[in-house]
Amino acid sequence: MAVDELQAIIQRCQILEEADFKGEDFNLFQVAGQKCLEDGYAAQLLEVVQNEKNKVIIKNMGWNLICPLVRCILMYKQEDDNREHCLKILDLLVQLCNAKELFLGLLEQIEQTSGEQICKTVMLLLQPLQTVLFKLQNKKAYSVGLSLAVIMNQLTPLPVPYTKQQIQEDKLGLCQCCNAVVNFAKPFVSEVVKNMEKSSDCNDTELKEELLKFCMKSLKYPLLTAQLDQLESSEEHPFRHFATEIIDILRDTRELIQLVFSHHKDRSQSWENKEFADIEQKNSAESLACLSYLMFVQYFGIDYFPMVFSPSYLLQCNMAHIEVLLNRTEESVLSKGLELFESVLLRMEDNSLLHQYLELSNFITVPQNLVKVMTLCPIEHLRKKSLNILQLFINKFDAEGKYTLFRCLLKTSNHAGVEGYIIKNIKDQIHLALMKVGDNNWFTGHHLVSLLDLVLLLPDGAETDLLQNSDRIMASLNLLRYLMIKDGEYDNQTGVWTMLAKIEQNFLKPLRVGLNMSKAHYEAEIKNKKENRRDSNSSNTVCSVTVSGEKLPAMTTEMQLQVLRSALFTFDLIESVLARVEELIEMKIKAV
């Protein structure tokens, strides 16, 4: 019987001195204790642990019972007496066992757990672990840091609940566990704060550094990917509560403002291995980006933020964080980047951002990242939001800034729709310049002529794919038509009449040739399809068609004809605007 085996081992060890305990004794005690728990004799094991005569034995060997104890506690139901007995045994072990061995045993148990048991195990052992840490005299800061690191490493692979329903259900217990972990850290935060109050020289304690590492990890996981919008019900949002606690730790340890303005300052340890150093730097950058989002979008800790900085400086400080967030592809992270960008832009007045800011690399890469979201992101509401934010960003620059940004985006976007959008913006700025609104001389005269060189041309001459570039071509033609109507040949404020020959050579003539070629090609294709349809006596024959160099999904003949007619309609639209431009040019030349 398991209890008899345990009693036999206890009686044998009671007559031995502490120094005489052998490895065999430890193994026998562990096996017998585990068997008692598994066979349902937790009450008898509790009596053994409570017996004062066994104090020395439990002090040295009791930590070996942690693994079977945890397994049984998680297995038994809440109302089961055996579960209650196991919990009492665990409490006694925390009081009686050697602190160092028990500390290692608790951490080992947390490390070994997996799957659905992770959060349950962590929450069960947090209180015992906290008690043991306070008993440790040596390397306490290191031990606290190791505990938090092991716990966070175990939690990190778990999926973060994202939808409101997932958050409310909290199937794996992650929401509850995260808040339990931050409560576990609070006494150590209080200890750091007390030390800081006693002496200003205690600002850089080891314990403070370990707590800071925990906060940085928490910002990356789970907060970077967590949904932080308020829940519809009156209950408190678990991740919002967790974020508040993390911000409070940073504030109490006087690190909050320092981190907000750190600009990815490398606080990590020095790694000889560059790969490790890059990973550490990336993790730090993502944590700081999340911190900025929490402060400037969700307003966590904003009451402690000094309101003395200009909106343009706040934008400059956040551009690196925005770039980090926009480089990710997850909806939860991308949306944080867009919201942070929007938030800092809305603090600024239109036309107030100096063009010199474009000399900073982030002010070029961030709008380029926005373009990628606009054109490549599969999530429609994020594409639309990024377009609105790009316009907001454009509006904030002075005239020279807008001019420089337009040139950059025309050269780098490689997307006809984006180029068409930028050309429309150029047209709006020219209109303001001609109406003498503000200092807009960058959109008249020789500056504009240089910009029009980028706008009024076909990338591949007459062989340009007109269908694929239709957005850009239509925007360019509309701009040219506007210039012909609004800027008289005698005024020539925009310089367009000076460069008319160049425009005809590089844009209008190749466009006319390209249109004729494209229309002839598509008309021939339509004729072909109709003849094939007559021959097969069916409009439901499935085959493929290639448009603009891309093979479309398999379609019936009738569907293909619709696509081809749509392309012809686009060509007719371009041709009608081209004809109007040519007519305006002819009229002006005759008038002269």
- pLDDT value at residue 536: 63
- pLDDT value at residue 2: 72
Most confident of 73-77, 96-100, 389-393: 389-393
Partners of residue 397 on adjacent β-strands: 353
pLDDT (tens digit per residue) in 172-227 = 999 999 999 999 999 999 999 998 888 765 544 899 999 999 999 999 999 999 98
- pLDDT value at residue 265: 47
Instruction: With a cut of 80, say whether residue 394 has pLDDT above it.
Output: yes
Torsion 135-140-142-147 (CA) sign:
positive
Instruction: With a cut of 60, say whether residue 268 has pLDDT above it.
Output: no
Q: Are 368 and 416 in contact (CB under 8 A)?
A: no
- Torsions phi, psi of 17, nearest 5? -75, 155
pLDDT (tens digit per residue) in 364-389 = 999 999 999 999 999 999 999 999 99
Range 19-28 average pLDDT? 68
Instruction: With a cut of 70, say whether residue 433 has pLDDT above it.
Output: yes
More confident residue, 31 or 399: 399
Instruction: With a cut of 90, say whether residue 581 has pLDDT above it.
Output: yes
More confident residue, 550 or 518: 518
Band of pLDDT at residue 544, cut at 50, 70 and 90: low
With a pLDDT cut of 90, the percent of the chain lying above it is 60
Centre a 10 Å sphere on the Cβ of residue 99 and count the other Cβ atoms it contains.
17
Range 18-30 average pLDDT? 68
Range 315-327 average pLDDT? 96
More confident residue, 405 or 13: 405
More confident residue, 526 or 276: 526
Q: Which of 34-38, 463-467, 514-518, 572-576 has the lowest mean pLDDT?
A: 34-38
- pLDDT value at residue 9: 75
Q: Which of 404-408, 437-441, 527-531 has the lowest mean pLDDT?
A: 437-441
Q: Are 148 and 207 in contact (CB under 8 A)?
A: no
Range 137-143 average pLDDT? 88
Band of pLDDT at residue 543, cut at 50, 70 and 90: low
Q: Which of 32-46, 67-81, 350-364 has the lowest mean pLDDT?
A: 32-46
Band of pLDDT at residue 60, cut at 50, 70 and 90: confident
Instruction: With a cut of 90, say whether residue 356 has pLDDT above it.
Output: yes
- pLDDT value at residue 266: 47
Q: Give me the residue spans of the domains in the chain.
A: 398-530+553-591
DSSP state of 223: I
With a pLDDT cut of 70, the percent of the chain lying above it is 89
- pLDDT value at residue 203: 47
DSSP one-letter string for 449-468: HHHHHHHSS-TTGGGS-TTT
Q: Are 444 and 498 in contact (CB under 8 A)?
A: no
**Cα–Cα distance, 539 to 559 (Å, whole number):** 9
Q: Are 189 and 252 in contact (CB under 8 A)?
A: yes
Most confident of 144-148, 258-262, 265-269, 514-518: 144-148
DSSP state of 397: B
- pLDDT value at residue 267: 47
Mean residue pLDDT across the chain: 88
Instruction: With a cut of 50, say whether residue 29 has pLDDT above it.
Output: yes
Range 254-268 average pLDDT? 72
Range 422-444 average pLDDT? 89
Most confident of 12-21, 40-49, 415-424, 538-547: 415-424
Record the pTM: 0.88
Range 480-508 average pLDDT? 90
- pLDDT value at residue 489: 77
**Cα–Cα distance, 48 to 496 (Å, whole number):** 98
Quick one: which H or E segment has residue 74?
Answer: helix 66-75
Partners of residue 555 on adjacent β-strands: 543
Range 21-30 average pLDDT? 70
- pLDDT value at residue 35: 84
Instruction: With a cut of 60, say whether residue 547 has pLDDT above it.
Output: no
Band of pLDDT at residue 592, cut at 50, 70 and 90: low
Range 483-488 average pLDDT? 89
Q: What is the largest CA-CA distance in the chain?
A: 122
- Cα–Cα–Cα angle for 250, 167, 84, rounded to 5 degrees: 85
